[in-house]
Structure 1
Amino acid sequence: MPQLAVDGATLTYDDEGPRDGDAVPLVFIHGWTANRHRWDHQMAHFAPKRRVIRFDLRGHGESDGSAKTIDELAGDVLALLDHLEVDRFVPVGHSMGGMIAQTLALTHPERIERLVLVNSISRMAFSRGRGLLMAASTLVPFKLFVAANIQRAFAPGYPREEIREYIRASSATPREVVMTLYSAMRAFDVLDRVGEIRTPTLLVHGYHDIQLPVAQMLRMATAYPDAVIRIVDAGHELPVEKPAKLTEALDWFVTDRP
């Protein structure tokens, strides 16, 4: 379990797979209140044949520290990859991790081989009623706030006991980290700039995602010059709800697509 000190934080990461192939590394970036183990299925699939890197964002999982903006988190990714002597890579970002991945594609396009966004969008846009509901939700007790957000992230029918485990894990994320990055996600807006991202992009989204609805992803997709869309019968937590489907789409995109 290697770690790296970065600007007041200690990042815990995994770096697996062969270094001698032609394929650039896959870099997995998890979402809000999650951790690097969201990518267990993808790591197990890809590590035997190519280099794969994942890490806990600062303040999440086994990493400490805190951040106030998506840009700061993107800086951590680059610091880790510079430490590992990785130049070009494929960022695979889930939810908030996808926002980080888009930031990297816009600020350092020369380092991005391909881009994969899972249940992510470029701008959080809601109706007036939904916006008021989200604002009100921050006033409830912290554990209830986290539980409500994680509960609704899964598609109907997902095992309740497994959801409870994810709620417990998310609730262990420090309150300051959770609330600060919640605000950072709501403020994130690069929708008017995604047309600048010329690298091939894969957008994988859960049909039942009510956190970041499909309609918002499709609005984003129309702005991408070179994007492929995959819709999966899942909610917002696609990496754990339908891991094999995500791995299949990712494998095709990074291995078989021209």
Structure 2
Amino acid sequence: MPQLDVAGARLTYDDEGPRDGGGVPLVFVHGWTANRHRWDHQVAHFAERRRVVRLDLRGHGESGGAGVRTIGELARDVVALLDHLGIERCVLVGHSMGGMIAQTVALEHPERVERMVLVNSIGRMAYNRARGLLMAVSALVPFKVFVATNIRRAFAPGYPREEVRRYIRDSADTPREVVMTLYGAMRGFDVLDRAGQIRTPTLMVHGYHDVQLPVGQMLWLATAYPDATVRVLDAGHELPVEKPAELTAVLDAFVTGRN
């Protein structure tokens, strides 16, 4: 598998699909404690006819590197990968924290993003009572309990328990420093007041049952965007794996200009 050394980290990535035709490349960015395989269904679909890139963010999956402190640092890693691959413009797709990274890239490098897709993502953290309580005790509970609690809440009721347990195991493999530091970075993430600067056509897809980042927070962000399309699906926070076919269909319609 290809890797790129950037700013003290070795990033693992996939670069698939034809180089010519089919439009600009799609670049997929996963969320907190996840890895690039969250996008398996979407990549398999789009790589048949266009270039598709996905990476493990530093400290996640098969990428090395720790010490990351901000969403901006992760955004710079994505831009470094685009530079390395010679990709001048792309459709940037981000899930959850990956959507925060995508918005940061769009604000700092608008010329690089032709279209953007935010999956279960928001522009500013807002907290209900349950989320606030979880945050308050996060430093007091064992690390694996903290991770397991967050991942269980990410899936809508009825999702297979064994699959949830598998994702919990994967997430718990992420180094504690990376998990906790980026949890704090997401808490402080706020681009809502600058969202009107993002002129890139943007699709916001959200799970109706998302309790991690409730759909109302996404709608709040959508009102700030000059050019936003909204789709709400019957799922929780983990749309790429809870409803892979439905999400892929919505993405396909957007990137091909059919909606």
**Gaps spanning 5+ residues in structure 1: where?**
none
Instruction: Please give the TM-score of this superposition, normalised by the length of structure 2.
Output: 0.97
**CA distance in 2: counterparts of 1:242 and 1:127, whole angstroms:** 26
Contact persistence 2:144–2:172 (CA under 8 A): yes
**CA distance in 2: counterparts of 1:179 and 1:151, whole angstroms:** 17
**CA distance in 2: counterparts of 1:107 and 1:152, whole angstroms:** 32
**CA distance in 2: counterparts of 1:130 and 1:16, whole angstroms:** 38
Specify the alignment match of 2:177 in structure 1: 176
C-alpha displacement at 1:129, in angstroms?
6.2
**Superposed counterparts of 1:164-243, under 5 Å:** 164-243=165-244
Specify the alignment match of 2:156 in structure 1: 155
Aligned with 1:64: secondary structure? coil
**CA distance in 2: counterparts of 1:241 and 1:138, whole angstroms:** 29
C-alpha displacement at 1:20, in angstroms?
1.1
C-alpha displacement at 1:143, in angstroms?
0.2
C-alpha displacement at 1:128, in angstroms?
5.8
Verify: 1:16 aligned to 2:16, yes or no.
yes
Instruction: Please give the TM-score of this superposition, normalised by the length of structure 1.
Output: 0.98
Q: Which moved more, 1:1-10 or 1:129-138?
A: 129-138
**Superposed counterparts of 1:115-134, under 5 Å:** 115-127=116-128, 130-134=131-135
Aligned with 1:114: secondary structure? strand
**CA distance in 1: counterparts of 2:179 and 2:134, whole angstroms:** 18
**CA distance in 1: counterparts of 2:11 and 2:71, whole angstroms:** 16
Q: Which moved more, 1:141-150 or 1:19-28?
A: 19-28
Specify the alignment match of 2:4 in structure 1: 4
Q: What is the aligned-residue identity percentage?
A: 77
Aligned with 2:99: secondary structure? helix
**CA distance in 1: counterparts of 2:21 and 2:236, whole angstroms:** 35
Give the AA of the match of 1:179: M
Give the AA of the match of 1:111: R
Give the AA of the match of 1:37: H
Question: Aligned-residue CA RMSD in angstroms?
Answer: 1.1
Specify the alignment match of 1:78 in structure 2: 79
**CA distance in 2: counterparts of 1:49 and 1:213, whole angstroms:** 34
Contact persistence 2:22–2:49 (CA under 8 A): no
**Gaps spanning 5+ residues in structure 2: where?**
none
C-alpha displacement at 1:22, in angstroms?
5.2
Specify the alignment match of 1:58 in structure 2: 58
Question: Alpha-carbon deviations, 1:101-121, whole Å to 9, x = none?
Answer: 000010000111001000000
**CA distance in 2: counterparts of 1:121 and 1:186, whole angstroms:** 11
